[in-house]
Amino acid sequence: MRVVALVLMLFVITLAKEVPFTQEDRDRIRNVELKVERLEEGQKHLQKQIEELKRDTQRQFDELRTFLYWGFGILFGGMGILIGFVIWDRRTAVEPVARKIKEIEEGEEKLEKVMKKLAKRDPEIEKILKEEGLA
């Protein structure tokens, strides 16, 4: 048993010998460190670009919102002006017609009075007015 333990100890000692750290290994580690630094710098640069894109996108949305507000304001303002013009135009177009109708009604009333006066003198006219429902 001691022999087996001794053989195992010698075997472990021979395996545990130091692996030499060569210049090539150091260069590889340095290259890995440089790549990590470049990756970190690239990541920082990407973060900056993302922030700039966020600000630019927000600015564009703000400009679009402002444009839409102005556009709708002009559109609804124009519609209000158009409705006002239509109402004004209708009133000015109807007013002369209303005056003319009033004049015709007044003339009709005068004619009716004259006809009633004539009907008192002439029985034939009175008969015609009764037939038409005016006397």
How is residue 38 written in tokens? 């470049």
pLDDT in 10s for each residue of the chain, 135 residues? 767 777 777 666 666 556 677 888 888 889 989 989 999 999 999 999 999 999 999 999 999 999 999 999 999 999 999 999 999 988 888 888 889 999 999 999 998 888 888 888 888 888 888 888 876
Q: Return the pLDDT at 12.
A: 66
Distance between CA atoms of residues 6 and 134, nearest Å = 150
The structure tokens 């090539």 sit at: 24
Q: Return the pLDDT at 18.
A: 62
Total residues found in the chain within this entry: 135
Q: Return the pLDDT at 14.
A: 66
Q: Return the pLDDT at 17.
A: 57
Contact assessment for residue 115 and residue 125, using Cβ atoms and an 8 Å cutoff: yes
**Phi/psi-derived region of residue 20, left when phi > 0, alpha when psi is between -120 and 50, beta in every other case:** beta
Residue 87: C-alpha distances to residues 6, 39, 93, 98, 102 (Å): 117, 71, 10, 16, 22
DSSP string computed for 67-109: HHHHHHHHHHHHHHHHHHHHHHHHHHHHHHHHHHHHHHHHHHH
Buried b (16+ CB within 10 A) or exposed e, 18-41: eeeeeeeeeeeeeeeeeeeeeeee
Q: Hey, where are the domains in the chain?
A: 28-132
